[in-house]
Amino acid sequence: ALNACRDAGVQVKIITGDTSATALEIARQTGLFAGDPPPGAHMTGVEFAALDQQRAAVAVERMLVLSRAKPADKMRAVKLLQKNGHVVAVTGDGTNDAPALNHANVGLAMGMTGTAVAKEASDIILLDDSFPSVVNGIMWGRSLYGNIQRFVLFQLTINVVALGIAFFGPFIGVKLPLTVIQMLWVNLIMDTFAALALATEPPHRSVMKHPPRHADDFIVTPGMARRIFGVGASFLAVLLSLLVFLQNDGITPRELTVFFTIFIMLQFWNLFNARCLGLTQSAFKGLYNNRGFVFIAGAIFIGQVLIVQFGGSVFRTVPLSFADWVMILIATSPVLLVGELLRWRDRTRTFRAAA
Protein backbone atom coordinates (compact mmCIF):
# COMPACT_ATOMS: atom_id res chain seq x y z
CA ALA A 1 0.00 0.00 0.00
CA LEU A 2 2.85 2.39 0.76
CA ASN A 3 4.48 1.59 -2.57
CA ALA A 4 1.17 2.38 -4.30
CA CYS A 5 1.05 5.71 -2.45
CA ARG A 6 4.58 6.58 -3.55
CA ASP A 7 3.75 5.75 -7.17
CA ALA A 8 0.65 7.94 -6.89
CA GLY A 9 2.63 10.89 -5.52
CA VAL A 10 1.07 10.57 -2.07
CA GLN A 11 3.44 11.24 0.83
CA VAL A 12 2.96 9.05 3.90
CA LYS A 13 4.05 10.22 7.36
CA ILE A 14 3.83 8.36 10.67
CA ILE A 15 2.82 10.48 13.65
CA THR A 16 2.54 8.40 16.80
CA GLY A 17 2.82 8.61 20.54
CA ASP A 18 4.93 5.43 20.58
CA THR A 19 8.64 5.42 21.34
CA SER A 20 11.17 6.27 18.68
CA ALA A 21 12.43 2.68 18.44
CA THR A 22 8.92 1.34 17.82
CA ALA A 23 8.04 4.03 15.27
CA LEU A 24 11.29 3.61 13.33
CA GLU A 25 10.98 -0.17 13.24
CA ILE A 26 7.43 0.09 11.86
CA ALA A 27 8.68 2.57 9.26
CA ARG A 28 11.44 0.14 8.19
CA GLN A 29 9.15 -2.89 8.04
CA THR A 30 6.58 -1.04 5.93
CA GLY A 31 9.28 0.24 3.56
CA LEU A 32 8.92 3.91 4.45
CA PHE A 33 12.72 3.95 4.36
CA ALA A 34 15.46 1.33 4.47
CA GLY A 35 18.16 1.23 7.14
CA ASP A 36 18.74 4.39 9.12
CA PRO A 37 16.34 7.26 8.50
CA PRO A 38 17.58 10.00 6.15
CA PRO A 39 18.57 13.34 7.71
CA GLY A 40 15.48 15.11 9.02
CA ALA A 41 13.21 12.10 8.37
CA HIS A 42 12.70 11.37 12.08
CA MET A 43 11.86 13.78 14.86
CA THR A 44 10.42 13.49 18.34
CA GLY A 45 7.49 15.50 19.55
CA VAL A 46 9.72 17.50 21.88
CA GLU A 47 12.07 18.43 19.04
CA PHE A 48 9.20 19.38 16.75
CA ALA A 49 7.48 21.49 19.40
CA ALA A 50 10.73 23.39 20.04
CA LEU A 51 10.89 24.68 16.43
CA ASP A 52 9.47 28.04 15.48
CA GLN A 53 6.83 28.21 12.74
CA GLN A 54 9.23 28.95 9.89
CA ARG A 55 11.63 26.15 10.75
CA ALA A 56 8.79 23.75 11.53
CA ALA A 57 7.22 24.43 8.09
CA VAL A 58 10.49 23.33 6.47
CA ALA A 59 11.02 20.39 8.83
CA VAL A 60 7.54 18.95 8.31
CA GLU A 61 8.26 18.50 4.59
CA ARG A 62 11.29 16.25 5.21
CA MET A 63 9.83 14.50 8.23
CA LEU A 64 8.56 10.96 7.70
CA VAL A 65 8.26 9.80 11.31
CA LEU A 66 7.25 11.85 14.34
CA SER A 67 7.49 9.76 17.50
CA ARG A 68 6.44 10.51 21.09
CA ALA A 69 4.04 13.04 19.60
CA LYS A 70 1.25 14.74 21.45
CA PRO A 71 -2.14 15.55 19.87
CA ALA A 72 -1.05 19.18 19.56
CA ASP A 73 1.99 18.07 17.50
CA LYS A 74 -0.24 16.15 15.10
CA MET A 75 -2.53 19.14 14.75
CA ARG A 76 0.41 21.46 14.14
CA ALA A 77 1.83 19.17 11.46
CA VAL A 78 -1.54 19.12 9.66
CA LYS A 79 -1.83 22.91 9.69
CA LEU A 80 1.74 23.41 8.48
CA LEU A 81 1.32 20.95 5.61
CA GLN A 82 -1.91 22.66 4.57
CA LYS A 83 -0.20 26.04 4.76
CA ASN A 84 2.51 24.65 2.47
CA GLY A 85 -0.17 23.84 -0.12
CA HIS A 86 -0.73 20.14 0.56
CA VAL A 87 -4.05 18.33 0.69
CA VAL A 88 -3.83 16.44 3.97
CA ALA A 89 -5.58 13.22 4.96
CA VAL A 90 -5.31 12.04 8.56
CA THR A 91 -6.04 8.60 9.99
CA GLY A 92 -6.75 8.14 13.67
CA ASP A 93 -8.72 6.13 16.20
CA GLY A 94 -8.51 7.94 19.53
CA THR A 95 -10.31 10.86 21.10
CA ASN A 96 -7.06 12.82 21.07
CA ASP A 97 -6.96 12.48 17.26
CA ALA A 98 -10.29 14.29 16.86
CA PRO A 99 -8.86 17.83 16.37
CA ALA A 100 -6.48 16.68 13.60
CA LEU A 101 -9.19 14.52 11.98
CA ASN A 102 -11.57 17.45 11.95
CA HIS A 103 -9.04 19.98 10.64
CA ALA A 104 -7.62 17.74 7.90
CA ASN A 105 -8.91 17.99 4.36
CA VAL A 106 -9.97 14.36 4.72
CA GLY A 107 -10.29 12.72 8.13
CA LEU A 108 -10.35 8.90 8.21
CA ALA A 109 -11.39 7.21 11.47
CA MET A 110 -11.06 3.53 12.34
CA GLY A 111 -14.45 1.83 12.25
CA MET A 112 -13.52 -1.16 14.40
CA THR A 113 -11.22 0.33 17.05
CA GLY A 114 -12.02 4.05 16.72
CA THR A 115 -13.79 5.98 19.43
CA ALA A 116 -17.15 7.63 18.84
CA VAL A 117 -15.50 11.05 19.07
CA ALA A 118 -12.96 10.16 16.36
CA LYS A 119 -15.71 8.86 14.08
CA GLU A 120 -17.79 11.98 14.59
CA ALA A 121 -14.83 14.25 13.76
CA SER A 122 -13.87 12.35 10.60
CA ASP A 123 -15.15 12.49 7.02
CA ILE A 124 -14.69 8.80 6.22
CA ILE A 125 -14.82 5.71 8.45
CA LEU A 126 -12.64 2.74 7.51
CA LEU A 127 -14.81 -0.27 8.33
CA ASP A 128 -11.87 -2.68 8.20
CA ASP A 129 -9.24 -0.42 9.87
CA SER A 130 -6.97 -1.19 6.91
CA PHE A 131 -4.55 1.26 5.31
CA PRO A 132 -4.89 -0.42 1.89
CA SER A 133 -8.54 0.70 2.01
CA VAL A 134 -7.25 4.28 1.92
CA VAL A 135 -5.31 3.43 -1.24
CA ASN A 136 -8.42 1.88 -2.78
CA GLY A 137 -10.31 5.05 -1.92
CA ILE A 138 -7.70 7.13 -3.74
CA MET A 139 -7.94 4.84 -6.76
CA TRP A 140 -11.74 5.07 -6.84
CA GLY A 141 -11.70 8.82 -6.35
CA ARG A 142 -9.25 9.37 -9.20
CA SER A 143 -11.14 6.95 -11.44
CA LEU A 144 -14.49 8.65 -10.83
CA TYR A 145 -12.93 12.04 -11.50
CA GLY A 146 -11.49 10.61 -14.72
CA ASN A 147 -14.95 9.35 -15.71
CA ILE A 148 -16.35 12.85 -15.26
CA GLN A 149 -13.56 14.20 -17.46
CA ARG A 150 -14.37 11.60 -20.12
CA PHE A 151 -17.99 12.68 -20.16
CA VAL A 152 -17.03 16.37 -20.33
CA LEU A 153 -14.61 15.63 -23.18
CA PHE A 154 -17.26 13.79 -25.19
CA GLN A 155 -19.98 16.35 -24.48
CA LEU A 156 -17.94 19.43 -25.32
CA THR A 157 -16.66 17.86 -28.53
CA ILE A 158 -20.25 17.35 -29.71
CA ASN A 159 -21.11 20.90 -28.64
CA VAL A 160 -18.29 22.36 -30.72
CA VAL A 161 -19.41 20.43 -33.80
CA ALA A 162 -23.14 21.04 -33.36
CA LEU A 163 -22.70 24.77 -32.74
CA GLY A 164 -20.35 25.06 -35.69
CA ILE A 165 -22.83 23.36 -38.02
CA ALA A 166 -25.74 25.50 -36.77
CA PHE A 167 -23.66 28.66 -37.23
CA PHE A 168 -22.00 27.99 -40.59
CA GLY A 169 -24.85 26.02 -42.21
CA PRO A 170 -26.89 29.09 -43.28
CA PHE A 171 -23.77 30.69 -44.78
CA ILE A 172 -23.36 27.63 -46.98
CA GLY A 173 -27.00 27.80 -48.01
CA VAL A 174 -28.52 25.13 -45.78
CA LYS A 175 -30.81 26.76 -43.23
CA LEU A 176 -31.31 23.64 -41.11
CA PRO A 177 -28.52 21.10 -41.57
CA LEU A 178 -29.92 19.44 -38.43
CA THR A 179 -33.57 19.87 -37.43
CA VAL A 180 -34.73 20.60 -33.90
CA ILE A 181 -35.88 16.99 -33.44
CA GLN A 182 -32.53 15.71 -34.68
CA MET A 183 -30.75 18.02 -32.22
CA LEU A 184 -32.91 16.59 -29.44
CA TRP A 185 -31.63 13.13 -30.36
CA VAL A 186 -28.08 14.49 -30.34
CA ASN A 187 -28.66 16.00 -26.89
CA LEU A 188 -30.06 12.68 -25.66
CA ILE A 189 -26.87 10.96 -26.80
CA MET A 190 -24.68 13.73 -25.41
CA ASP A 191 -26.26 14.20 -21.98
CA THR A 192 -27.98 10.99 -20.98
CA PHE A 193 -26.44 8.07 -22.87
CA ALA A 194 -22.86 9.37 -22.71
CA ALA A 195 -23.14 10.12 -18.99
CA LEU A 196 -24.35 6.59 -18.28
CA ALA A 197 -21.80 4.95 -20.55
CA LEU A 198 -18.72 6.85 -19.39
CA ALA A 199 -19.62 7.29 -15.71
CA THR A 200 -19.89 3.52 -15.23
CA GLU A 201 -16.34 2.85 -16.43
CA PRO A 202 -14.66 0.63 -13.77
CA PRO A 203 -11.57 1.95 -11.94
CA HIS A 204 -8.18 1.49 -13.56
CA ARG A 205 -5.10 0.70 -11.47
CA SER A 206 -3.06 2.83 -13.85
CA VAL A 207 -4.47 5.99 -12.25
CA MET A 208 -2.19 5.25 -9.29
CA LYS A 209 0.80 5.91 -11.54
CA HIS A 210 -0.30 9.50 -12.20
CA PRO A 211 0.81 12.44 -10.07
CA PRO A 212 -1.93 14.08 -8.01
CA ARG A 213 -3.71 17.04 -9.54
CA HIS A 214 -3.71 20.42 -7.83
CA ALA A 215 -6.86 21.19 -5.86
CA ASP A 216 -7.46 24.34 -7.92
CA ASP A 217 -6.95 22.70 -11.33
CA PHE A 218 -9.76 23.18 -13.84
CA ILE A 219 -11.57 19.96 -14.75
CA VAL A 220 -10.77 20.57 -18.44
CA THR A 221 -7.01 20.11 -18.69
CA PRO A 222 -4.95 21.75 -21.47
CA GLY A 223 -4.65 18.35 -23.15
CA MET A 224 -8.42 17.90 -23.04
CA ALA A 225 -8.96 21.38 -24.47
CA ARG A 226 -6.62 20.64 -27.38
CA ARG A 227 -8.44 17.39 -28.01
CA ILE A 228 -11.90 19.00 -27.80
CA PHE A 229 -11.11 21.77 -30.25
CA GLY A 230 -8.82 19.64 -32.42
CA VAL A 231 -11.25 16.75 -32.87
CA GLY A 232 -14.23 19.12 -32.99
CA ALA A 233 -12.60 21.22 -35.70
CA SER A 234 -11.74 18.09 -37.70
CA PHE A 235 -15.32 16.80 -37.52
CA LEU A 236 -16.65 20.25 -38.38
CA ALA A 237 -14.36 20.55 -41.40
CA VAL A 238 -15.48 17.15 -42.70
CA LEU A 239 -19.17 17.89 -42.20
CA LEU A 240 -19.04 21.38 -43.69
CA SER A 241 -17.09 20.08 -46.67
CA LEU A 242 -19.79 17.46 -47.13
CA LEU A 243 -22.48 20.13 -47.02
CA VAL A 244 -20.67 22.23 -49.61
CA PHE A 245 -20.28 19.20 -51.87
CA LEU A 246 -23.94 18.26 -51.54
CA GLN A 247 -25.07 21.85 -52.04
CA ASN A 248 -23.58 22.02 -55.53
CA ASP A 249 -26.48 20.18 -57.15
CA GLY A 250 -29.13 20.81 -54.51
CA ILE A 251 -29.53 18.84 -51.31
CA THR A 252 -32.10 16.05 -51.38
CA PRO A 253 -33.79 14.49 -48.30
CA ARG A 254 -31.65 11.40 -48.79
CA GLU A 255 -28.45 13.45 -48.72
CA LEU A 256 -29.58 15.26 -45.55
CA THR A 257 -30.26 11.84 -44.02
CA VAL A 258 -26.74 10.73 -44.92
CA PHE A 259 -25.34 13.94 -43.44
CA PHE A 260 -27.28 13.41 -40.19
CA THR A 261 -26.15 9.79 -39.94
CA ILE A 262 -22.51 10.66 -40.59
CA PHE A 263 -22.71 13.29 -37.83
CA ILE A 264 -24.03 10.71 -35.35
CA MET A 265 -21.57 7.99 -36.37
CA LEU A 266 -18.61 10.32 -35.96
CA GLN A 267 -19.73 10.85 -32.36
CA PHE A 268 -20.42 7.11 -31.97
CA TRP A 269 -16.82 6.19 -32.76
CA ASN A 270 -15.55 9.13 -30.71
CA LEU A 271 -17.38 7.69 -27.68
CA PHE A 272 -14.90 4.79 -27.72
CA ASN A 273 -11.98 7.24 -27.86
CA ALA A 274 -13.40 9.24 -24.95
CA ARG A 275 -13.48 6.03 -22.91
CA CYS A 276 -9.68 5.87 -23.12
CA LEU A 277 -8.94 9.42 -21.89
CA GLY A 278 -5.77 9.25 -19.77
CA LEU A 279 -5.10 5.65 -20.80
CA THR A 280 -2.93 4.06 -23.46
CA GLN A 281 -4.88 0.82 -23.72
CA SER A 282 -7.05 -0.16 -26.66
CA ALA A 283 -10.65 1.02 -26.60
CA PHE A 284 -11.69 -2.65 -26.75
CA LYS A 285 -9.60 -3.79 -23.76
CA GLY A 286 -11.84 -4.63 -20.82
CA LEU A 287 -14.90 -3.63 -22.82
CA TYR A 288 -16.77 -6.70 -21.60
CA ASN A 289 -16.21 -5.60 -17.99
CA ASN A 290 -18.34 -2.52 -18.66
CA ARG A 291 -21.51 -4.05 -20.02
CA GLY A 292 -23.31 -0.76 -19.47
CA PHE A 293 -21.04 0.89 -22.03
CA VAL A 294 -21.60 -1.92 -24.54
CA PHE A 295 -25.37 -1.77 -24.04
CA ILE A 296 -25.53 2.03 -24.42
CA ALA A 297 -23.24 2.10 -27.45
CA GLY A 298 -25.46 -0.54 -29.02
CA ALA A 299 -28.57 1.46 -28.10
CA ILE A 300 -27.15 4.57 -29.80
CA PHE A 301 -26.41 2.66 -32.99
CA ILE A 302 -29.75 0.81 -33.05
CA GLY A 303 -31.59 4.02 -32.19
CA GLN A 304 -29.95 5.80 -35.13
CA VAL A 305 -30.91 2.97 -37.47
CA LEU A 306 -34.53 3.07 -36.30
CA ILE A 307 -34.70 6.86 -36.61
CA VAL A 308 -33.32 6.81 -40.14
CA GLN A 309 -35.33 3.86 -41.39
CA PHE A 310 -38.65 4.68 -39.71
CA GLY A 311 -38.36 8.32 -38.56
CA GLY A 312 -39.93 9.72 -41.70
CA SER A 313 -41.11 13.32 -41.69
CA VAL A 314 -40.80 13.60 -37.89
CA PHE A 315 -37.01 13.27 -38.07
CA ARG A 316 -36.76 14.43 -41.70
CA THR A 317 -35.16 11.17 -42.77
CA VAL A 318 -35.58 8.67 -45.58
CA PRO A 319 -34.58 4.99 -45.35
CA LEU A 320 -31.05 4.15 -46.41
CA SER A 321 -29.95 0.94 -48.10
CA PHE A 322 -27.68 -1.63 -46.51
CA ALA A 323 -24.88 -0.50 -48.83
CA ASP A 324 -25.34 3.08 -47.61
CA TRP A 325 -24.96 1.99 -44.00
CA VAL A 326 -21.84 0.00 -44.78
CA MET A 327 -20.29 2.95 -46.61
CA ILE A 328 -21.10 5.34 -43.74
CA LEU A 329 -19.60 2.98 -41.17
CA ILE A 330 -16.43 2.57 -43.23
CA ALA A 331 -16.16 6.30 -43.93
CA THR A 332 -16.49 7.28 -40.25
CA SER A 333 -14.48 4.43 -38.69
CA PRO A 334 -11.09 6.21 -39.13
CA VAL A 335 -12.09 8.24 -36.04
CA LEU A 336 -11.58 5.09 -33.94
CA LEU A 337 -8.71 3.76 -36.06
CA VAL A 338 -6.68 6.95 -35.63
CA GLY A 339 -7.36 6.86 -31.90
CA GLU A 340 -6.18 3.26 -31.72
CA LEU A 341 -2.99 4.12 -33.61
CA LEU A 342 -2.23 7.04 -31.30
CA ARG A 343 -2.78 4.87 -28.21
CA TRP A 344 -0.58 2.15 -29.71
CA ARG A 345 2.13 4.76 -30.25
CA ASP A 346 1.85 5.89 -26.63
CA ARG A 347 2.00 2.29 -25.38
CA THR A 348 5.13 1.70 -27.45
CA ARG A 349 6.80 4.81 -26.07
CA THR A 350 5.92 3.81 -22.51
CA PHE A 351 7.28 0.31 -23.05
CA ARG A 352 10.54 1.64 -24.51
CA ALA A 353 10.93 4.14 -21.65
CA ALA A 354 10.42 1.37 -19.08
CA ALA A 355 12.93 -0.86 -20.87
- Rounded to two decimals, the pTM is 0.85
* pLDDT (0 to 100) of residue 124: 93
Q: Is the pLDDT of residue 13 over 90?
A: yes
The mean per-residue pLDDT over the stretch 332-345 comes to 94
* pLDDT (0 to 100) of residue 350: 74
Query: Which of helix, strand or coil describes residue 91?
Result: strand
* pLDDT (0 to 100) of residue 34: 78
Report long-range pairs for 93-97 (Cβ below 8 Å, ≥24 apart). Answer: 93/118, 93/129, 94/118, 96/71, 97/71, 97/121
- Give the pLDDT confidence of 31-72 residue by residue, as tens digits: 888 778 888 899 999 999 999 999 999 999 999 999 999 999
- Give the pLDDT confidence of 232-260 residue by residue, as tens digits: 999 999 999 999 888 877 788 999 999 99
Per DSSP (E only), the strands in the chain are 14-15, 42-44, 65-67, 89-92, 106-110, 124-126
Mean pLDDT for all residues in the chain: 91
The mean per-residue pLDDT over the stretch 124-141 comes to 91
- Give the pLDDT confidence of 190-205 residue by residue, as tens digits: 778 888 888 888 888 8
Q: Is the pLDDT of residue 353 over 80?
A: no
Q: Is the pLDDT of residue 211 over 90?
A: no
What one-character-per-residue DSSP string does 292-311 give?
Answer: HHHHHHHHHHHHHHHHHHH-
* pLDDT (0 to 100) of residue 249: 75
Residues 158, 190 contacting (CB under 8 angstroms): yes
The mean per-residue pLDDT over the stretch 291-303 comes to 91
* pLDDT (0 to 100) of residue 108: 94
Residues 124, 108 contacting (CB under 8 angstroms): yes
- Rounded Cα distance between 254 and 258, Å, is 6
Q: Is the pLDDT of residue 355 over 70?
A: no
Residues 88, 82 contacting (CB under 8 angstroms): yes
* pLDDT (0 to 100) of residue 199: 84
Give CA angle at 296 (295, 301), nearest 5°: 100
Check residues 286 and 225 and name the one with the higher pLDDT: 225
Query: Which of helix, strand or coil describes residue 213?
Result: coil
